């Protein structure tokens, strides 16, 4: 478990808990004024997530999902029952991934459960966390229904498997689209600003500016279409 070093005084705080054998970054986002929060992408390892929530004394009000892959949302149904809170996201185009969660999780030796989101998300939807607001951006390419969450006040984004430190999301799965992925990154992520820090679905955080300068798959100086 780790906090983002860039955001100690930010109004929206973030904490990352790697879960499942794939070390997927489940995030706790919470309003530092009200201590109301959301869990993003609870792929599994529910006890570790509950432990982090209890230690920080966060009041979790919603579960947010970036996309339908089992390592991101295989634990959403269980956590929703335990915390009695709604599941919000991803975009409806990921329904077919959600339907395959149990069989895909089993291949990696853990349990994942199908769920029905209480709300599907669309581009430019807004979600509140305490006094803070998350803007939703639909970013297809890794999966067709992938969404990312952006908080302007804290210069923070949670981007799932769209962009990583020094890499980008895979687009070779069913429904993946490399050109759409590149377009999502350039048109939806870069406008959030070079100083914006992002939590990727796997690995360490970075900033959009760092990736624009150094990411071999998408840097401004690279061979991007």
- Nearer residue to Zn ion within complex by CB, 25 or 207: 25
In the complex, the smallest distance separating the C-beta of residue 81 from Zn ion, rounded to whole angstroms, is 24
In the complex, the smallest distance separating the C-beta of residue 18 from Zn ion, rounded to whole angstroms, is 15
CA distance 92 to 109: 27
In the complex, the smallest distance separating the C-beta of residue 162 from Zn ion, rounded to whole angstroms, is 9
CA distance 190 to 141: 16
211 binds Zn ion (CB under 5 A): no
- Nearer residue to Zn ion within complex by CB, 161 or 211: 161
**Residues near Zn ion (CB under 5 A), total:** 2
What DSSP element (H or E) covers 72? helix 70-73
Residue 59-78 contact track with Zn ion, rule CB under 5 A, x = bound: ----------x---------
Beta strands of 124-195 (E only): which ranges?
Answer: 126-129, 132-138, 147-151, 156-160, 163-164, 167-168
- Nearer residue to Zn ion within complex by CB, 45 or 161: 161
CA–CA distance from 20 to each of 23, 84, 134, 168, 178 (Å)?
Answer: 5, 22, 26, 20, 26
- Nearer residue to Zn ion within complex by CB, 61 or 161: 161
CA distance 154 to 135: 12
125 binds Zn ion (CB under 5 A): no
Beta partners for 60? 37
Residue 159-188 contact track with Zn ion, rule CB under 5 A, x = bound: --x---------------------------
Strands 197-200 and 156-160: parallel
Binding site for Zn ion (CB under 5 A): 69, 161
């Amino acid at each position: 478990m780790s906090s983002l070093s860039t955001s100690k005084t930010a109004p929206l705080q973030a904490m990352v808990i790697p879960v499942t054998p794939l070390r997927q970054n489940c995030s706790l986002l919470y309003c530092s004024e009200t201590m109301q929060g959301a869990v993003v992408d609870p792929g599994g390892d529910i006890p570790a997530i509950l432990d982090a929530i209890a230690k920080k004394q966060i009041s979790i009000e919603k579960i947010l999902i970036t996309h339908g892959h089992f390592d991101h949302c295989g634990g959403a149904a269980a956590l929703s029952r335990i915390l009695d809170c709604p599941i919000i996201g991803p975009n409806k185009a990921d329904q077919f991934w959600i339907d395959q969660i149990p069989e895909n999780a089993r291949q990696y030796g853990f349990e994942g459960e199908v769920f029905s989101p209480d709300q599907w998300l669309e581009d430019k939807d807004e979600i509140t966390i305490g006094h803070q607001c998350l803007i939703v951006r639909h970013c297809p390419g890794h999966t067709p229904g992938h969404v990312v969450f952006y908080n302007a006040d804290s210069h923070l984004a949670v981007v799932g498997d769209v962009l990583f430190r020094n890499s980008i999301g895979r687009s070779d799965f069913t429904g993946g689209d490399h050109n759409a992925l590149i377009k999502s990154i350039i048109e939806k992520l870069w406008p959030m600003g070079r100083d914006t820090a992002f939590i990727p679905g796997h690995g360490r955080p970075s900033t959009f500016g760092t990736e624009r300068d150094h990411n071999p798959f998408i840097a401004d100086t690279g061979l991007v279409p």
